[in-house]
């Protein structure tokens, strides 16, 4: 920021810019003052006729005073251009010096009491006018004013016949005129430069503001574009997530189907074997009867074989039927979102029966503690998916290979028609960094073995959205994990 010293900018370039910026206004004000001066110069002409002989006035002073008017007109008509800036100021100083000479010299030729003091007054007026003509160069004005006062008081007044007291009065008058004029000129020069500097700073600030507004507008447009891109990406991500969640559900159901199919293979194989054995014995009995060789002992053996085969077929087919019924109910619930009443203990047993093939592959124990009459009117499919994911998650993550673990499912009826289901294991637990993100989508510690990171995310969504409940997890390394589900027995929707 440029500073001022003695009413001028210390930076020459800034001073030049200031002078050019105020040139038109300065010239306009100067022209008004000069026209006023032309009217004011009529008064000394009248005083000339009063103080001096008419012949001297007409022959000398009147032509000299009238010669000033063309010079004033010349200054007024100078165009307001940078090339005429200094010329105009020089002309003003010449004009002031000429006026000073015309005003200060009469006391040397006129022998009238008090004319020196009267002219001194007019000289002080000329000094004051000087301070109004060069607002951008007040130091020139100060130098000229002091010089004009000094020359009149020191060299002209003592020869005009004035008394020492009158000289003292003139000194006071001129000192006051110069002090007041210099102070006014300095304040005017300083205030104009301050105003110019503030205007310049305001223009720079406005330019900076416009630049920043342009940058902000560009950034806003970029941000809007980025927001649209993020919204599009988020929409695509949600669609992909929904597809992956659905695929995860179908994969879980597919795994359940494969397990049940494998589990059905054993009882159905035994039943087929028993039926084949029974068919062979019936054919042998037919041949014995046709040959007339049937004895009582062979008939009794056939009856024993028939009872044994029928019992074997019945037990295995019953086992298969129970497994199919359990799978049917669980599969229907998982594939639909229908709401129905159900006994919580019976449903958990059916779910675990459908997971029996997967559970028998491990040596873990599952214990269910639930009142037999605890009833819920909710969405069993969602609950089935939640418990299935929790069981499979525990089998995959909770226990190291070869370790026998314990899984406990505890159901308790709470006040306010709510049900609490605690699913706990005594496995390895989770470190805090993993526990904080366990419900995040696509977060998994088992990606190398095909983990999708959606299991617990699906659990969280089903519990909080479909079942209208809440889920919390407590875990620590080496202390297992406990999931606490708080569900309404009868959801509000």
pLDDT in tens, 181-199: 888 888 877 887 788 788 8
Domain identity same for 207 and 340: no
Those residues whose C-beta lies under 8 Å from the C-beta of residue 414, and which sit 6 or more positions away, are 420, 486
Most confident of 252-266, 349-363, 371-385: 371-385
Q: What is the pTM of this model?
A: 0.41
| 275 occurs within a structural domain | no
Question: CA 200 to CA 21: how far, in whole Å?
Answer: 10
Domain identity same for 61 and 207: yes
Instruction: Give Cα 195 distance to the centre of its chain.
Output: 38
Domain identity same for 37 and 177: yes
**pLDDT-derived band at 400, boundaries 50, 70, 90:** confident
Kind and range of the H or E run holding 327:
helix 296-335
| 180 occurs within a structural domain | yes
- Which residue would you say has higher pLDDT here, 96 or 241? 96
| 24 occurs within a structural domain | yes
- pLDDT over 70 at 8, yes or no: no
Taking residues 340-358, report their average pLDDT: 83
Residue ending a domain, among 211, 240, 271, is: 211
How many domains are contained in the chain? 2
The token pair that represents 65 in the structure block: 């005073």
- pLDDT over 90 at 422, yes or no: yes
- pLDDT over 60 at 14, yes or no: yes
| 444 occurs within a structural domain | yes
Question: CA 120 to CA 491: how far, in whole Å?
Answer: 109
Q: Which sign does the torsion angle of CA 17, 20, 23, 24 carry?
A: negative
pLDDT of 23 reads 74
The token pair that represents 383 in the structure block: 């609950």
pLDDT tens-place string over residues 36-81: 778 776 666 666 666 667 777 777 777 887 888 898 899 889 888 8
pLDDT tens-place string over residues 74-104: 988 988 888 888 898 899 889 889 888 888 8
Q: What is the CATH number of the domain that holds 392?
A: 3.30.565.10
Question: CA 20 to CA 32: how far, in whole Å?
Answer: 19
Domain identity same for 166 and 22: yes
Asked whether the beta carbons of 410 and 348 are under 8 A apart, the reply is no
| 296 occurs within a structural domain | no
Question: CA 458 to CA 244: how far, in whole Å?
Answer: 10
Question: CA 220 to CA 208: how far, in whole Å?
Answer: 18
- Which residue would you say has higher pLDDT here, 250 or 423? 423
The token pair that represents 453 in the structure block: 């990171």
Question: CA 448 to CA 429: how far, in whole Å?
Answer: 20
Among 172-176, 365-369, 448-452, the minimum mean pLDDT is found in: 448-452
Q: Is 39 helix (H, G, I), strand (E, B) or coil?
A: helix
Question: CA 126 to CA 122: how far, in whole Å?
Answer: 6
The token pair that represents 470 in the structure block: 């809440």
Asked whether the beta carbons of 398 and 427 are under 8 A apart, the reply is yes
pLDDT of 146 reads 92
Question: What range defines the domain where residue 67 resides?
Answer: 4-211
Taking residues 446-465, report their average pLDDT: 71
Q: Which sign does the torsion angle of CA 430, 435, 438, 443 carry?
A: negative
| 317 occurs within a structural domain | no
Most confident of 15-29, 249-263, 306-320: 15-29
* Exposure string for 129-160, b = 16+ CB within 10 A, e = fewer: bbbbbbbbbbebbbebbeebbeebbeebbeeb
Taking residues 238-242, report their average pLDDT: 67
Helices and strands, number each (H, E), in the chain: 16, 9
Domain identity same for 350 and 484: yes
- pLDDT over 90 at 429, yes or no: no
The token pair that represents 360 in the structure block: 């028998």
Q: What's the chain's average pLDDT? A: 79
Taking residues 173-178, report their average pLDDT: 91
pLDDT of 453 reads 60
| 77 occurs within a structural domain | yes
Residue ending a domain, among 211, 235, 255, is: 211
Taking residues 24-40, report their average pLDDT: 81
Side-chain half-sphere exposure of 94, counting CA atoms within 13 A? 11
Asked whether the beta carbons of 487 and 469 are under 8 A apart, the reply is yes
- pLDDT over 50 at 333, yes or no: no
Residue ending a domain, among 155, 188, 211, is: 211
pLDDT of 340 reads 86
| 263 occurs within a structural domain | no
Question: CA 372 to CA 259: how far, in whole Å?
Answer: 27
Terminal CA-to-CA distance of the chain, rounded, Å? 71
- pLDDT over 80 at 314, yes or no: no
Question: Any bridge partners for residue 422, and if so which?
Answer: 410, 484
pLDDT tens-place string over residues 154-164: 888 887 777 88
Taking residues 15-41, report their average pLDDT: 78
């Amino acid at each position: 920021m440029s500073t001022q010293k003695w009413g001028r900018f210390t930076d020459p370039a800034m001073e030049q810019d200031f002078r050019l910026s105020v040139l038109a206004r300065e010239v306009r004000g100067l022209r008004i003052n000069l026209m006023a001066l032309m009217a004011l110069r009529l008064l000394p002409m009248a005083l000339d006729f009063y103080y001096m002989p008419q012949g001297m006035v007409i022959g000398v002073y009147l032509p000299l005073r009238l010669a000033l008017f063309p010079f004033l007109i010349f200054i007024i008509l100078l165009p307001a251009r940078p090339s005429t800036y200094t010329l105009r100021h020089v002309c003003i100083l010449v004009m002031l010096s000429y006026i000073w000479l015309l005003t200060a010299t009469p006391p040397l030729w006129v022998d009238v009491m008090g004319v020196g003091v009267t002219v001194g007054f007019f000289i002080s007026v000329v000094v004051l006018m000087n301070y109004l003509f060069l607002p951008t160069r007040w130091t020139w004005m100060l130098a000229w004013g002091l010089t004009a006062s000094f020359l009149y008081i020191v060299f002209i007044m003592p020869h005009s016949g004035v008394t020492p007291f009158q000289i003292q009065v003139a000194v006071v008058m001129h000192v006051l005129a110069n002090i007041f004029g210099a102070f006014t000129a300095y304040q005017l020069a300083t205030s104009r430069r301050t105003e110019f500097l503030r205007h310049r700073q305001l223009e720079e600030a406005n330019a900076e503001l416009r630049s920043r507004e342009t940058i902000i507008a560009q950034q806003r447009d970029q941000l809007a574009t980025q927001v649209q891109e993020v919204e599009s990406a988020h929409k695509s991500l949600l669609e992909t997530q929904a597809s992956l969640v659905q695929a995860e559900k179908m994969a879980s159901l597919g795994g359940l189907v494969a397990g049940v199919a494998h589990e059905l293979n054993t009882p159905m194989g035994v039943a087929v074997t028993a039926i084949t054995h029974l068919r062979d014995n019936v054919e042998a009995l037919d041949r014995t009867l046709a040959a007339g060789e049937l004895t009582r002992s062979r008939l009794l053996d056939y009856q024993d074989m028939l009872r044994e085969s029928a019992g074997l077929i019945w037990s295995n087919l019953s086992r298969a039927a129970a497994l199919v019924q359990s799978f049917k109910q669980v599969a229907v619930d998982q594939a639909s979102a229908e709401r129905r009443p159900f006994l919580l203990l019976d449903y958990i047993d059916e779910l675990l029966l459908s997971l029996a093939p997967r559970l028998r592959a491990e040596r873990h124990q599952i214990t269910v503690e639930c009142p037999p009459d605890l009833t819920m009117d909710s969405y069993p499919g969602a609950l089935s998916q939640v418990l299935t994911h929790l069981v499979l998650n525990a089998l995959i993550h909770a226990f190291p290979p070869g370790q026998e673990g314990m899984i406990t499912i505890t159901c308790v009826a709470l006040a306010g028609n709510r049900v609490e289901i605690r699913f706990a294991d005594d496995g390895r637990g989770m470190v805090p960094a993993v526990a904080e993100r366990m419900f995040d989508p696509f977060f998994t510690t088992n990606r190398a073995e095909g983990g999708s990171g959606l299991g617990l995310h699906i659990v969280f969504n089903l519990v909080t959205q479909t079942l209208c409940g809440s889920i919390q997890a407590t875990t620590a390394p080496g202390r297992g994990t406990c999931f606490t589900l708080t569900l309404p027995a009868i959801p509000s929707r």
